[in-house]
Amino acid sequence: MTSPVRVDFKKIYYQRRIAENETWKQNAQAILERFPNAEVIEVDQHWRIPELAEADPSQWIRTKNDVLVLGVKTTLSHQKNGRSADYIAASVSNGCLSSCQYCYVARRKGGSNPLSLYVNIEQIADAIEKHSVRLGAKLVPNQTDPSLWTYDIGCNADLSLDAMVCDHPQYLIQRFSEMKYAKATFATKTVNEDAWLRVDPKGHTRIRYSIMPASIARYVDIRTSPIEDRMRSVNRLIDAGYEVHLNFSPIIMYGGDQWRKDWLETFDQLNDILSPKAKEQLACEAFFLSHSEAVHELNMQWNPKGEEFLWAPEIQAPKTNKEDVLVYNWSLRRDALGWFENAVGKKLPYCPVRYSF
């Protein structure tokens, strides 16, 4: 299966603090050895790099292709969530090799937010395990999981892509397989079964494939695996011992009612592709697009075609608690969400909606 991205970094920014710890140095060296021709540039901070902050937005894809950042994650706390997971775990990476046009990840390193990997992966895993032990057994089931505390380990990245650059994601899944009270979960738009089939999750990892109509994905899901490939991968990962759910997101309104027709076709395609075993354990999340004027203006410099679908000021309004974030008008979104959940119930009756907004 062809990779959606080319991994061939020309520059690797290397945080000086890595030298403080022998294990961190070894982890960083293992990554550097994969890219022997890359120029290594030492920096004081992994997130404040002037050359990236000032990068030309029109070179969005080139920056992602050419730049990797290695750093140390210092904040090892885990934030309560209650949606995709009980907790958002301390990040093992930030940024992404894909270029989804609606991405919400903070772009502090510059317009395209190239991938940063944190080399203190053991320390991050230890922090998650200690947190779950303090919580103890999960006595009250909730929508995230009936029996295990769930930790989203990929909130700021796509771990399937990270696994093309390092072994950190597989290490983390291995660690979760040994945790008594915890389960890992992450969303992905990349099919990378070679990475995941190398690890036995032992029922402690849930992968969430993001799904949207292929007709819109080709314009806004840039450098990701084809939608049908993601659907077919669900069956194989289920057979390998993973739990696999679906993210129906973002739901984008376009072309009058065309977006509804495209989603109905997508549900029919899923129903034809998914195996009985996959359907038996399936659940989904569903949420509508959020956007912003700042991101719109940035995107216009590298992929204006996608903005024809995302930018709709006539039906978008500031979010109640975040005025710089735009969402669809509440009455419109409320009716659309009701339609969407009803369509899932009719087309995919075996797929409960865990949460939606």
Q: Chain-wide mean pLDDT for the chain? A: 95
CA-CA distance, 87 to 109, in Å (whole number)?
A: 25
The tens digit of pLDDT for each residue in 125-149 reads: 999 999 999 999 999 999 999 999 9
Amino acid at 342: N
* CATH code: domain of residue 227: 3.80.30.30
Among the listed residues 213, 223, 217, 172, the one whose alpha carbon sits nearest the alpha carbon of residue 196: 172
Q: Residue 3: what pLDDT?
A: 74
The tens digit of pLDDT for each residue in 146-200 reads: 999 999 999 989 999 999 999 999 999 999 999 999 999 999 999 999 999 999 9
Q: Residue 239: what pLDDT?
A: 97
Residue 106 scores a pLDDT above 70: no
Residue 336 lies in a domain: yes
Look at 14-23, 78-87, 104-113, 285-294 and tell me which has the smallest mean pLDDT: 104-113
Residue 92 lies in a domain: yes
Residue 3 lies in a domain: no
CA-CA distance, 131 to 127, in Å (whole number)?
A: 6
Residue 35 lies in a domain: yes
Tell me how crowded residue 142 is: count the other CB atoms within 10 A of its CB: 12
The tens digit of pLDDT for each residue in 260-312 reads: 999 999 999 999 999 999 999 999 999 999 999 988 998 899 999 999 999 99
Q: Residue 206: what pLDDT?
A: 98
Q: Residue 51: what pLDDT?
A: 87
Residue 4 lies in a domain: no
Give start and end residues of each alpha helix (H) in the chain: 22-32, 50-53, 60-66, 121-135, 159-162, 168-177, 193-196, 214-220, 227-239, 258-273, 276-280, 293-299, 304-310, 330-347
Residue 165 lies in a domain: yes
The model's pTM is: 0.96
- Count of domains observed in the chain: 1
CB neighbour class for 178 (10 Å; exposed up to 12, middle 13-18, buried from 19): exposed
Residue 2 lies in a domain: no
Residue 194 lies in a domain: yes
Domain that holds residue 299: 11-356
Q: Are 12 and 71 in contact (CB under 8 A)?
A: no
